Chains A and B, each alone.
Chain A
Amino acid sequence: MALLERSEWYDIARRTEWTPGYVSDDELYPEGHSGDYDIPGEAWSTYDEPYKISYREYVDIQRQKDAGAYSVKAALERMDLRSKVDPGWISTLKLHYGAVSVVEYNAGLMESRFVRWARSPGMRNMGTFGMLDEIRHAQLQLFFPHEYVPTDRQFDWAHSGMKSNNWGIIAGRHFFDDMMMTRDAVSTSILLNFAFETGFTNLQFIGLSSDAANAGDFSFSKLIQSIQSDEARHAQIGTPMLAMMIENGEKERAQRLVDVAFWRSWKLFTILTGIPMDYYIPLDKREGSFKEFMQEWIVTQFVNSLEDLGLAKPWYWDIFLADIDEHHHGQQLGTWSWRPTLWFSPAAGVGPDERDWLEEKYPGWNDTFGKCWDAIIENLKRGDIGRTVPGTLPIICNMSNIPIRRTTRWSTTGGSTTSARSPIAGSSSRTRSATPPTKRSLIACSPARSSPPTSAVCCSTWASACSATAVATPTTTSGCPPTSRVPTRRRRTDRWQHSHSR
């Protein structure tokens, strides 16, 4: 066909900026939506998306991708997944769909905000494709789990979950309200597209895809591979914006956005990805450990992309690196213990072989987290189920909305406890010391408020409450980076409602 190449007309299609004549610029682009960044008007037109596609190409490619994904689903529809795969994998699916499907839809709304409020026409066009992508992801991830609803009520959470006041859902909803729904278009493209999508979604969509295939769930494997191929495109929306900010004197604010989004994303993914990878997925089906995926996709690749842009690692980097070894293990103890509050049936994943694997991947696991599980197992062996289900509530981080856990190795001095590394909220300092003498840290480390558990090596709010031998007073150290926004507390009493689907 004698058609023009895309490159011959593409730039014309993104030269659509004009000077308003009948309304003011402030009305057309209010700061709250379009941002108040000190970037000159002409600079916006320099936005250059690295991943270019035309509408014509888009509908063709996406039609073919959908044909592939839906044909796999159709082919496997008669397979009784529940009888074919490990229950741990089923729990992984329920966690994933309950936390992701409807979020994807609202990510489409986020992309539509770029189309209306971004000052760069190229970003407006890319936002249009991103909006369509996210609608696709939502519809796929609603249609696929709907098939399971007639056999398992818990899959209803794929649709209904995000409107509930379940504690885990509140944490996720708060994250996405903060990072995705309520900030100006420029900030959102850094928070979500750059920090969240180029960094953390790889963990979920690439990491879990291999595990799904290994577990025999080819439908899900194909599904999330297909989704990831879209993410790779629209995740690029934030990168040129970040470069533009840095070029125009907004580097400090750009760095701050990355710092905030990275920390918040990390905390969320410890539960969403960390727990399934290291505990739910059957041992012989695991592609790698959560830590290994983190090191590949985040510590190496994401940091490379940060440094390529001239940004630094987040100021709490050392704390984060230590957290990779520990945080999700504490969350696993907690989520398993508070299992009546979940919309899925969590696997403990701590049989003898699994413990060997955990010890290999996380040296020291048996002497720390393993001791907490020993206590739980002893209670179970005695038939004392009641002692494995806490009667108290955990302390919730006021920012991340997930239970605070303290699985750092404690040093005990004179009856007081101090954390060797503890990110403290409330300061923007990038040279934070390990144990800053702030009011918050004094409270957290006060012996009057915190007693070390008998094991003296592992204390978490989660873990201590279910221990048969040691009940530690929760500490209150929160892992909040600066500038993050805390939730409105209107429905606090509802957040521990039990999942109705059990």
Chain B
Amino acid sequence: MTEELKPLRTWSHLVGQRRRPSEYEIVSVGLLWHARGETVPFEVEGASFMNDWVMRYRDNSAITHDDWDSFRDPDELVYRTYNILQDGQESYVDGLLDQYDNEGHDESLSGAWLDVLEALYTPGRYLVHTSQMASAYLVHMAPASTICNCAAFQTADALRWVSRIAYRTASLAKAHPDRSFGESERATWENAPAWQGYRELMERALVAYDWAEAFVALNLVAVPAISEGYYRAMALSARRNDDTLLALMAEAALRDGDRARRWSQALVGHMLDVESNRAQLQEWVDAWAPYGTSAIEAFAGELPDVPDRAAAGSEALRRAHSSAGLATSDG
């Protein structure tokens, strides 16, 4: 029998920390058994596909760090605080929908603006769903559970807005049964020029298999591009076309995007702990930013009454890279 060891005040891996660990640290840090530095992630013969995939695109990523587990979400969200936060946010959106429904909002929209909604708003569920899928890739490919968690909440945020767009699509279809709300979105997503920038960006981001490149493509380019084009430019155009409901909903979505920006910047900062990562990150930003810029310009250029938003969106994307500690791309 071996000697009985003394109890610890917290998990053994947090004992060296001087202060008392927070709930966030207790439940979030160091949870990937397959990222513990063994020769292969998964100890199963016959799992060569998954082992090869994870070794190639996670463990042998060009972006390296000795201690991925030391990354911390700046918002320190845990599951229960995420639900408290988002339940409140959803109550706000419910309140908007109820209020504007009582005011006969959908019936009051102009024909010209309904054309815009058909062409540029309701097909957006396809766009946001692709970001849901791409975020989920980061969940199972990131090298630390604290990164996985951020990506998981981002995945759920995307489903939130897929759901709300679907809701509004059904509302508009009910108010305007003569239009094609709920029917034409897929064809519009696949064919309309306004969407092809976003579609190309997202399809390519979905097959960026290196986890760190996928993060750059999604969180440093696609998510900001969606925020600046689909939500921010749309909100402004909606307000100028008497669709305050859409403006307020889009701005609510931007709050989720702000959280994505915060953890993305923090992760870039973590990556830049290793100076040799900078060149690779910059190379990827330079490669992906043009897709983001093209997407914003193609989309926002079609929105009415916001002539400056395409340029402003692209500038915002460059600022996002700058504030993350990377050089701005000329995109």
**In the complex, B90 has a CB within 8 A of chain A:** yes
Q: A54-B163, A139-B27, A500-B5 are in contact. Are A19 and B190 (CB under 8 A)?
A: yes
**In the complex, A116 has a CB within 8 A of chain B:** yes
**In the complex, A409 has a CB within 8 A of chain B:** no
Chain B residues whose CB sits within 8 angstroms of the CB of A66 once the complex forms: 79-80, 83
- 14 A-B residue contacts at CB 8 Å? A4-B167, A9-B170, A12-B125, A55-B90, A70-B80, A106-B33, A110-B140, A112-B152, A125-B159, A139-B78, A153-B4, A153-B5, A181-B34, A502-B1
B-contacting residues, A307-360, CB 8 Å: 340
- Chain B residues with CB under 8 Å of chain A are 1-13, 23, 26-28, 30-34, 36, 38-40, 42-47, 49-51, 53, 78-80, 82-84, 86-87, 90, 93-94, 97-98, 101-102, 125-126, 129, 132-134, 136-137, 139-140, 145, 148-149, 151-152, 155-156, 159-160, 162-163, 165-167, 169-171, 174, 182, 185-186, 189-190, 196, 199-200, 203-204, 206-207
**Are A131's CB and B152's CB within 8 A?**
yes
In the complex the two chains form, what is the Cα distance from A17 to B7 in whole Å? Answer: 53
Chain A residues whose CB sits within 8 angstroms of the CB of B159 once the complex forms: 55, 125, 128
Of the candidates A108, A112, A121, A127, the one whose C-beta lies within 8 Å of that of B129 is A121
Chain A residues whose CB sits within 8 angstroms of the CB of B160 once the complex forms: 55-56
**Are A102's CB and B43's CB within 8 A?**
no
In addition to A151-B7, A163-B33, 12 A-B residue pairs with Cβ atoms within 8 Å of each other are A2-B101, A2-B102, A9-B170, A23-B203, A55-B163, A109-B32, A116-B136, A124-B132, A159-B12, A183-B47, A486-B44, A488-B45
**Are B125's CB and A16's CB within 8 A?**
yes
**Are A102's CB and B207's CB within 8 A?**
no
**In the complex, A405 has a CB within 8 A of chain B:** no
**Are A16's CB and B129's CB within 8 A?**
yes
Chain B residues whose CB sits within 8 angstroms of the CB of A13 once the complex forms: 125, 162-163, 165-167
Of the candidates B43, B51, B80, B170, the one whose C-beta lies within 8 Å of that of A12 is B170
Q: How large is the interface on A (under 10, 10 to 19, 20 to 34, 35 or more residues)?
A: 35 or more
Q: A3-B94, A146-B10, A159-B13 are in contact. Are A112 and B140 (CB under 8 A)?
A: yes
In the complex the two chains form, what is the Cα distance from A171 to B3 in whole Å? Answer: 25
Of the candidates A9, A23, A131, A177, the one whose C-beta lies within 8 Å of that of B169 is A9
Of the candidates B31, B156, B167, the one whose C-beta lies within 8 Å of that of A105 is B31
Min CB gap B145→A, angstroms: 6
Min CB gap B200→A, angstroms: 5
B-contacting residues, A135-161, CB 8 Å: 135-136, 138-139, 142-143, 146, 149-153, 156, 159-160
B-contacting residues, A59-86, CB 8 Å: 59-60, 62-63, 66, 70
Q: A2-B98, A55-B160 are in contact. Are A22 and B13 (CB under 8 A)?
A: no
**Are A177's CB and B163's CB within 8 A?**
no
**In the complex, A8 has a CB within 8 A of chain B:** yes
Interface of B, helix, strand, loop or mixed by DSSP: helix
- Chain A residues with CB under 8 Å of chain B are 1-4, 8-10, 12-13, 15-23, 27-28, 32-33, 54-56, 59-60, 62-63, 66, 70, 102, 105-106, 108-110, 112-113, 115-116, 121, 124-125, 127-128, 131-132, 135-136, 138-139, 142-143, 146, 149-153, 156, 159-160, 162-163, 170, 173-174, 177-178, 181-183, 340, 389, 485-488, 490, 498-502
Of the candidates B39, B49, B137, B206, the one whose C-beta lies within 8 Å of that of A32 is B49
In the complex the two chains form, what is the Cα distance from A173 to B162 in whole Å? Answer: 35
Q: A2-B98, A16-B129, A143-B23 are in contact. Are A109 and B140 (CB under 8 A)?
A: yes
Min CB gap B181→A, angstroms: 9
Chain A residues whose CB sits within 8 angstroms of the CB of B49 once the complex forms: 32, 182
Chain A residues whose CB sits within 8 angstroms of the CB of B126 once the complex forms: 16, 18
Chain A residues whose CB sits within 8 angstroms of the CB of B23 once the complex forms: 143
Of the candidates A2, A18, A22, the one whose C-beta lies within 8 Å of that of B189 is A18
Chain B residues whose CB sits within 8 angstroms of the CB of A151 once the complex forms: 7
Chain A residues whose CB sits within 8 angstroms of the CB of B137 once the complex forms: 112, 116
Q: Which of A22, A32, A33, A170 has the most CB of B within 10 A?
A: A22
Chain B residues whose CB sits within 8 angstroms of the CB of A160 once the complex forms: 11-13
Min CB gap A154→B, angstroms: 9
Min CB gap B174→A, angstroms: 8
In the complex the two chains form, what is the Cα distance from A132 to B159 in whole Å? Answer: 12
Chain B residues whose CB sits within 8 angstroms of the CB of A139 once the complex forms: 27-28, 78-80
**Are B28's CB and A12's CB within 8 A?**
no
Min CB gap B125→A, angstroms: 6
Q: A2-B98, A21-B203, A160-B11 are in contact. Are A112 and B136 (CB under 8 A)?
A: yes
Chain A residues whose CB sits within 8 angstroms of the CB of B3 once the complex forms: 502
**Are A485's CB and B43's CB within 8 A?**
no
**Are A22's CB and B162's CB within 8 A?**
no
Of the candidates A8, A112, A177, A340, the one whose C-beta lies within 8 Å of that of B139 is A112
